[in-house]
Amino acid sequence: MKESLSILSTLPSVDYELLDSGDGEKLERYGQVVFRRPDPQALWKKILPIKDWQNADAVFVRDGRNADWKIKPGTPEKWTINFGELKFHIRPTAFKHTGLFPEQEGNWNWMREVIKARLPKQPEINVLNLFGYTGGASLACAQAGAQVCHVDGSKVAIGWARDNAELSGLKEKPIRWILDDAVEFVRREVKRGKKYDGIVMDPPAFGHGPNGEMWKIEKDFVGLIEMCNQILSDQPLFFLLNGYASGYSAIAYENNLQNLVKKYGGEIEKGELTLQESKSGRLLPCGIFARWFNI
């Protein structure tokens, strides 16, 4: 087991770059559109001139209890970018999101690698993606040759993920799109005796399922992990945990995977997900991860 913390960094690319960050904000380019939005991790000073920040096409503004985007005239409602060997629709949404978490690129590449490494000796690999959002992890796994079950509690997010699959040329890949509460879905999979070779999840700190089911990470996370352990196959390939805005350490996530090493062998890696600024090279922390694998 690796005791050190790894740092996964998403580097600037043709259609995405972190231009600058600081004073509780970040400035990003998605294609030709520049976003300015809050980020509490940016606990330092900005580098770029203020005019660069003022020229952003879309700015997420909080005013008391109200929060919304201020968008320049002529900015498209949505557009397509190439990112991480996939294609995504991008648009500003509530809660300051864009439809893409670019810091996950390193995890997508890692899942592709472990799936391709196993395929020669196991031609059918089943992956479960819980809290799947707009589909990045699901598409990366399907692209590598896995069969994927994508679960999310938002009908809008699932529609968006399906659109991204079509954009990426993966419409015909074996992906099941499931609108359901993650906990309730896994509970039923346990009863059905369904098994998965890989599980990936990126649970929010707080949320709701499609029928109003409430999720609180401090209350529900450990129980969900325990149920997921029951639906792993006899020779599982990986279990990936991501954390965003929950305030927990990667070590806390790692501790939930240690039983897999005892039962199946394999290794655990843990660390931080970051974005690298295009000009300064400075890293913006964006979340944590812990991942077990046994190729």
Number of domains in the chain: 2
Identify whether residues 223 and 80 lie together within a single domain. Answer: no
d(CA 219, CA 247): 14
Q: Tens digits of per-residue pLDDT, 134-179? A: 999 999 999 999 999 999 999 999 999 999 999 999 999 999 999 9
> Measured between alpha carbons, how far is residue 99 from residues 52, 85, 177 in Å?
23, 16, 17
- Does one domain contain both 111 and 127? yes
The pLDDT confidence band at residue 246, using thresholds 50, 70 and 90, is low
Residue in this structure with the two tokens 């659109």, named with its chain if needed: 163
The answer to whether residues 86 and 111 belong to one domain is no
CATH number at residue 31: 2.60.40.1180
Considering 72, 96, 120, which residue would you say is the last residue of a domain?
Answer: 96
Of the pLDDT bands very low, low, confident and very high (cuts 50, 70, 90), residue 255 is very high
The answer to whether position 35 is within a domain reads yes
Q: Where a domain ends, among 96, 113, 145?
A: 96
Clarify whether residues 127 and 244 are in a common domain: yes
Is 4 part of a structural domain of the chain? Answer: no
Residue 131 belongs to a domain with what CATH number?
A: 3.40.50.150
pLDDT on residue 245: 66
Helix (H, G, I), strand (E, B) or coil at 272: strand
Q: Which two tokens stand for residue 83?
A: 């990112």
**CB-based contact 294:20 (threshold 8 Å):** no
Which tens digit of pLDDT belongs to each residue from 173-212? 999 999 999 999 999 999 999 999 999 999 988 888 888 8
Residue 15 lies in a domain: yes
* Residues 138 and 73 both lie in one domain: no
Mean per-residue pLDDT for 220-249? 94
Question: Does residue 146 belong to any structural domain of this protein?
Answer: yes
Please check whether residue 1 lies inside any domain of the structure: no
Query: Is residue 115 located within the same domain as residue 42?
Result: no
pLDDT for 2 equals 59
* 17 part of a folded domain: yes
Type of residue at 285: P
Is residue 1 scored above 60 in pLDDT? no
Structural domain including 61 reads 11-96
d(CA 267, CA 260): 9
User: 260 and 121, same structural domain?
Assistant: yes
Same domain for 211 and 171? yes
The answer on 19 and 144 residing in a single domain is: no
pLDDT mean over 5-30 = 98
Residues 109, 90, single domain; the answer is no
pLDDT in tens, 46-104: 999 999 999 999 999 988 788 999 999 999 999 999 999 999 999 999 889 999 999 99
Instruction: Report yes or no on 5 lying in a domain.
Output: no
Residue 132 half-sphere exposure toward CB, CA atoms < 13 A:
38
Quick one: 118 and 249 in the same domain?
Answer: yes
Alpha-carbon distance of 148 to 196, in angstroms, equals 9
Query: Which of 96, 120, 154 corresponds to the end of one domain?
Result: 96
The answer to whether residue 187 is domain-embedded is yes
Asked whether residue 107 falls in the same domain as residue 251, the answer is: yes
